[in-house]
């Protein structure tokens, strides 16, 4: 479970950089992205043996990813929605299975990951590049 949670955290940490542009449309997106980075940092500290904390961390990360998608400018909206949908699917896989049945949970997590195999990497890459261009302070 540690690797799955850290994978989810890594996906979003790569998306987010410090600082935001001052444009109104982009400011909300950058703020949501920066907040997601904070949520992810906290999630990395969760022990995978603490099932309630793991579920809570995933739920919080998925909710913040949904906010990023909601605030995303049109040009990057699809990619933000894919990443948010992946985190929601991962959250549901963990929430709908018991930590007492690691095989069932592993299968559910694997199914969630497989559902997004075709588009997740490209979406993360495009979203990361957009955040770096849009939310980085001007030189």
Per-residue pLDDT, averaged over 46-65, amounts to 92
To 10 degrees, the CA torsion angle through 127, 106, 3, 113? -10
Q: Are 97 and 108 in contact (CB under 8 A)?
A: yes
Q: How confident is the model at residue 136 (pLDDT cuts 50, 70, 90)?
A: confident
Q: pLDDT tens across 81-127, in order?
A: 999 999 999 999 999 999 889 999 999 999 999 999 999 999 999 99
pLDDT in tens, 65-82: 999 999 999 999 999 999
Residue closest to 90 by CA, chosen among 65, 49, 58: 58
> What's the mean pLDDT in 16-39?
73
CA 89 to chain CA centroid, Å, is 11
pLDDT at 114: 95
Where residue 21 falls among pLDDT bands split at 50, 70, 90?
A: very low
> Any residues with CB less than 8 A from the CB of 115 and at least 6 apart, and which?
86, 89
**Global pTM?**
0.79
């Amino acid at each position: 479970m540690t690797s799955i949670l850290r994978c989810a955290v890594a996906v979003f940490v790569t998306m987010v950089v410090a600082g935001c542009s001052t444009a109104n449309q982009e400011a909300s997106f950058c703020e949501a992205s920066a907040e997601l980075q904070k949520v992810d940092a906290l999630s990395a500290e969760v022990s995978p043996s603490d099932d309630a904390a793991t579920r809570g961390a995933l739920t919080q990360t998925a909710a913040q990813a949904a906010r990023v998608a909601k605030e995303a400018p049109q040009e990057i909206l699809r990619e933000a929605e894919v990443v948010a949908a992946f985190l929601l699917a991962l959250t549901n896989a963990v929430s709908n299975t018991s930590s007492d049945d690691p095989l069932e949970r592993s299968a559910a997590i694997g199914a969630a990951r497989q559902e997004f195999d075709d588009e997740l990497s490209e979406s993360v890459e495009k979203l990361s590049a957009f955040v770096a261009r849009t939310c980085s302070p001007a030189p």
